[in-house]
Structure 1
Amino acid sequence: MDAFATDYAWIVWLVLILIFVTIEMTTLDLTFLMMAGGSLGGLLSGLVGAPWWLQLLVAASLTMALLFGIRPPLLRALRRGGDPAKSNVDALLGMDGHVVSTVGRSGGQVRLANGETWTSRLSPELEQASVEPGVRVLVTAIDGATAVVIPAERNVT
């Protein structure tokens, strides 16, 4: 039985490599790629004549070395190149616009610099009761589907 396991272990290693690479293509987390690398080490040690238990030991130790030694720096390098452009709500904060219909504490409308028209209200920090059409404003927050604004002149130092 021991000779049989050693002689045909290469088939098991090939199957494991194929399974791990296939799973890695769906997860893109590099975990299964490291496991495939460990399995490749087990396959190579079997091809040079190592017994099955040594193949298993080589595969396990190589997998651990790859998971804890290579994977973290690879993930950092991959995530470092993320898109720096702001999107969604983050892109609206600090954006300027002009009042379309009088903005008060309860509501109004502003047209932002990106061309969108938003329902809006004045920031509760302001003593001012309303802002008339045509006045330039800055978005300080987004509350649901409402832009919280302040007059742009107030923000100038």
Structure 2
Amino acid sequence: MPDLAQYLWIAWLVLAVVFVIVELITLEFTFLMLATGTLIGGLGVNLLGGPWWLQVLAAAVVSALLLFTIRPLLLRLLHRSSRAVPTNVDALTGMGARVTAAFVDGDGTVKLDNGETWTARASATGGAPAVGSRVIVQSVRGAIVEVAPEERSDAHG
């Protein structure tokens, strides 16, 4: 009967490939650290002729060291370079709009700068803006945007 320990290097390679595939799906650097620990610890000790239990121990130690030292640094570096960009409804707050239908009982219609038409409610502080005037979206309440008159930056009004 053949000694299966001589084929353990194949198991280390297969495990590393599986970890890399899972990493490509998750993109959190966890399985990348496990794959690296598998290659350096497990396969490395195997190639140096170490027993199976030492291979497993080395793979676990190297993986743990990478998970708790290198992974946090990589995540910090990744998240530092990307700032949060509001999308969908979150992106509407602060957007300009033009009033397209008169406000009656506090509700009217505006066309946002992105081309969407929304039911709008005049903010309590701004009063009811006239048709054709510019407004700014203050908040989104379900399917209604709350708007306030756009403040002019020049002194001429």
So what's the TM-score if we normalise by structure 1?
A: 0.82
Q: Which one-letter code corresponds to 2:16 in the other structure?
A: I
The partner residue of 2:131 within 130, 133, 138 is 133
> Over residues 20-70 of structure 1, what are the superposed CA-to-partner deviations in whole Å (9 max), with x where a residue is unaligned?
122222222221111111111211111111121211111110000111111
Shift of 1:127: 7.3
Separation (CA, whole Å) in 1 of partners of 2:143 and 2:80 = 32
Verify the 8 A CA contact 2:126 2:148 in the aligned structure 1. Answer: no
Verify the 8 A CA contact 1:5 1:52 in the aligned structure 2. Answer: no
Consecutive unaligned residues of structure 1, counting only runs of 5 or more, are none
Percent of paired sites with the same residue: 47
What are the equivalent positions in structure 2 for 1:57-76 lying under 5 Å apart?
A: 57-76=57-76
Residue in 2 aligned with 1:29? Answer: 28
Shift of 1:104: 4.2
> Over residues 79-132 of structure 1, what are the superposed CA-to-partner deviations in whole Å (9 max), with x where a residue is unaligned?
233365432223221222221111244421112223322110112x3373x332
Other structure's SS at 1:26 match: helix
Other structure's SS at 1:102 match: strand
Shift of 1:11: 2.3
Separation (CA, whole Å) in 1 of partners of 2:104 and 2:81 = 42
Residue in 1 aligned with 2:142? Answer: 144
The yes-or-no answer on 1:46 pairing with 2:49 is: no
The yes-or-no answer on 1:10 pairing with 2:9 is: yes
Other structure's SS at 1:15 match: helix
Would you say how many aligned residue pairs link Structure 1 and Structure 2?
Answer: 153
CA gap of 1:145–1:155, structure 2 versus 1, over 3 A, is farther
Separation (CA, whole Å) in 2 of partners of 1:142 and 1:105 = 18
So what's the TM-score if we normalise by structure 2?
A: 0.82
